[in-house]
Amino acid sequence: MKNVALEDTSTTGITHRSVQVGEIRMHIAEAGSGPLVVLLHGFPETWYSWRHQLLALAAAGYHAVAPDQRGYGRTELPDAVEDYTILHTVGDVIQLVDVLGEERAVLAGHDWGGVVTWHAALMRPDVVRGVVSLSTPFQPHADGAHLAGLRAVAGADYENYYSVYVQRPGVADEELGEDPRATVRRALYGASGEGYPWSPIVPAGGHLLDIWPEPGELPGWLTEQDIDTVAEDFARTGFTPALNWFRNFDRNWALTSPWHNAVITQPALYITGDRDLAAKLPGAAELIEGRSAAVPHAREAIVLPGCGHWIQQERSDDVSRAMISFVRSLAPWRT
């Protein structure tokens, strides 16, 4: 396990520290005091993707905490692929709530963070009071492993579908790590509302970065400093730990078999963009249309026009307002 050095910093009301969560040291960014709201990032991101919501939630009277999840940023990086299963990532969050001195929390997740959020709610309803998921719909455990199910969707392009492409040991790791700044810039622009549309199919003979266009100029919500901040973390850690999350698709399906066809019992809010390819995933249409049997207590979904995949950054004010309104609707919930 690689031990990542941590520098204590405090900027614009956000403080940073390292806490012991199970077998790993986890870096967290936090702001405010009050009932706990935990914010979980996706790929290729870090805690920094929640910088706007940390401050907004703090101003609204909440203790907002955004960790670097295992394998990312300044959190420790386990070495083995099998150390990045859904049981590990959910376990990290549940233990983090306990380490922070709370019994319950609202979880908000984006992308892979949404996957963790939904499964934490499923596995530990005693801890997770409510769910906010950005981009990622809830996909209940059902017949068929993830990658096998993807074959039916991708057809002849299956081997070059990006979720399958990254399964090849070392290939995407090297491509993304060659220039971390270019990787972050192209990913954040390419999957945004401004970069839309993009294809998840890696061109034959091409590289993973070829699925995202090179931006002519950055959109207004993204600065060169933002790119530098995230790229510096990936330059230090590499991309292998983050890609190991993808390499547990089938293992996660096997591990979650006890929750076969189980449902989310907590109140939940789903937010997506109309230019977010994740809104095409199974389960998204049901949430958007208010007919999800798997999430029977889902609130009215929010679909942001012109918004791509990086929702909490592209539409930071809209997302912050929606989250605060949802969390307030759950009161009183702090024990």
- Would you give the DSSP letter of residue 70? T
The question of whether 309 is a catalytic residue gets the answer: yes
Other beta carbons within 10 angstroms of residue 92's beta carbon come to 21
For residues 77 and 325, give the distance between their C-alpha atoms in angstroms, rounded to a whole number. 35
The per-residue DSSP string of 272-333 comes to EETT-GGGGSTTHHHHHTT--SSSTTB---EEETT--S-HHHHTHHHHHHHHHHHHHHT-S-
Residue 129 one-letter amino acid: R
How much is the CA Rg of the chain, to the nearest whole Å? 18
Distance (Å, rounded) from C-alpha 198 to C-alpha 328? Answer: 36
20-40 b/e (C-beta count within 10 Å ≥ 16 → b): ebeebbbbbbbbbeebbbbbb
Told to judge if 111 belongs to the known catalytic residues of this protein, a careful annotator would answer: yes
DSSP E strands, the chain: 10-11, 14-21, 24-31, 36-40, 63-67, 105-110, 128-134, 268-273, 302-304
Contact at 8 Å (CB) between 45 and 215? Answer: no
Q: Please pick, among 68, 92, 111, 276, the residue that the annotation labels catalytic.
A: 111
Rounded CA-CA distance 74/234 in Å is 10
Q: Which listed residue (27, 63, 88, 309) is catalytic?
A: 309
State the amino acid at position 88 in one-letter form. Answer: H
* 284, 309 Cβ separation under 8 angstroms: no
Distance CA 213, CA 69 (A): 27
Query: Do 6 and 76 touch, CB atoms closer than 8 A?
Result: no
Which residues are known catalytic residues?
111, 309
